[in-house]
Structure 1
């Protein structure tokens, strides 16, 4: 679908793999993003969860916004929007949507690991959905991002973030074997962490995603200073909260939406 980036590894942005850069720079990915992800249907539970937690006034930063499908409903109801993404192609789509609906959305092209241009305590609330946190390679880089989010939020600001569950892979075909072999490989392979996955995604080879255990996710948020007000476990189809989460919810949840505050 797209040509592979010609940049040498040392020139890749911090936390961004070559496969992810191909994804980020693809006009075709941006143009087909909403259609491919069933815009407006699969997102209903996420939208309701965000709307119920984030106040309807103030500036909301959508970090790794894609085409801003999480941000636009908030701006429609009264928030101002700050759309942040490394992809100029995704931001092109966001700008078109904002222009067509006359929405108050500012776009900033930036790597999530390098958000120094956004001032301290300048954002009222922030969201980071669709496992965008997991697209950042390296625990140190993910911490840099979360530290930036905490820094840019005003005191009391809300932060909503979603990740996928590492242990949920058990329910995939040959899942037990994959988990066992992956954990051995992660211990023996330099630069690889448990939860690092590479796979073909929307025509892009070697797309990177880090998937989290519940404990790892909670620790990462707390280490950056966030207070977790609620951790919402998700059903397999991601369109609702997992029922009976007390029963092996750390395995059965497809992922979590963390509702946090500074």
Structure 2
């Protein structure tokens, strides 16, 4: 596989075993695959479901065959997913053909989203950005998220993190990267990029160790970022989380 050819690499993985490529530990059968989507949509919506109740449109960046989109469709009127792999999108359209409110779209994987400004109430990416080997592409998706979100819309992203510091930076610079083991970010890197996009950070935290596993192991430094697009026409001070519910910024 080409180190940086996301499209051909993920088309190949989809052809070999799409379920395993998407959900390594939950790929035994369609039932387990669906159950993993039900489980993970709760994590995706944790703390924001009430804020988003009654809103119309959601977008997932890196949707695969629609594992999370399927249960997400119960919460929104229209659900969109984009993926670099045309083969993943084709299989997802077949899997979810019974859900007319779910739409899957193939993209080029270069960081742009094929939607108009202020199109979505909620935009998220889960178990995707750590496969992208080029940080500029991830940053572009963050900027694009700001563009396609409606004012007061919510964004949430999942990252592989790494420690800050010169030695950690040097180790990261010489680590082999490809379209499976992509780039990692420090928490300050992520928060700077999110703020630079124009979004306001509501929450930045590490995931609990038991909440996500890869090949039966818990990876280190899994980071969730939750942000909101400001609406400058309304009064300031409206919080996404109540103070007693807000996880600590770490």
What's the TM-score once normalised by structure 1's chain length? Answer: 0.68
Query: In the alignment, does 2:197 pair up with 1:209?
Result: no
Shift of 1:112: 4.1
User: Structure 2 unaligned runs (5+)?
Assistant: 27-32, 214-218, 230-250
| Correspondence list, 1:110-259, <5 A | 110-115=107-112, 117-130=114-127, 132-167=128-163, 180=167, 183-184=169-170, 193=173, 197-198=176-177, 207-239=180-212, 254-259=221-226
Which of 46, 50, 54 is 2:44 aligned to? 50
Shift of 1:143: 2.1
Name the SS of the counterpart of 1:198 in structure 2. coil
Query: In the alignment, does 2:4 pair up with 1:17?
Result: yes
Shift of 1:124: 1.9
Match of 1:10 in 2: none
Name the SS of the counterpart of 1:76 in structure 2. coil
Shift of 1:33: 3.8
Shift of 1:129: 0.6
Match of 1:30 in 2: 18
Q: CA RMSD in A?
A: 3.1
* Alpha carbons of structure 1 residues 78 and 115: separation in structure 2 relative to 1, 3 Å: same
Shift of 1:34: 5.4
Q: Is the 8 A contact 2:41 2:68 kept in 1?
A: yes
Shift of 1:47: 2.2
Q: Is the 8 A contact 1:81 1:105 kept in 2?
A: yes
Q: Is the 8 A contact 1:162 1:255 kept in 2?
A: yes
Distance in 2, Cα, partners of 1:40 & 1:125: 22
In the comparison of the two structures, how many residue pairs are matched?
211
Q: What do the CA deviations read for 1:205-245 (whole angstroms, capped 9, x no partner)?
A: x73411121111211211111111112311333349xxxxx
* Alpha carbons of structure 1 residues 230 and 35: separation in structure 2 relative to 1, 3 Å: closer
Distance in 2, Cα, partners of 1:35 & 1:103: 24
Q: What do the CA deviations read for 1:46-86 (whole angstroms, capped 9, x no partner)?
A: 42232231414311111111122222221023441111011
Q: Is the 8 A contact 1:165 1:212 kept in 2?
A: yes
Distance in 2, Cα, partners of 1:255 & 1:184: 20
* Alpha carbons of structure 1 residues 43 and 81: separation in structure 2 relative to 1, 3 Å: closer
What's the TM-score once normalised by structure 2's chain length? Answer: 0.71
Shift of 1:97: 2.3
User: Structure 1 unaligned runs (5+)?
Assistant: 6-15, 169-178, 187-192, 200-205, 241-251
* Alpha carbons of structure 1 residues 220 and 114: separation in structure 2 relative to 1, 3 Å: closer
Distance in 2, Cα, partners of 1:83 & 1:32: 19
Structure 1 segments (4+ residues) deviating >6 Å: none
Shift of 1:22: 4.1
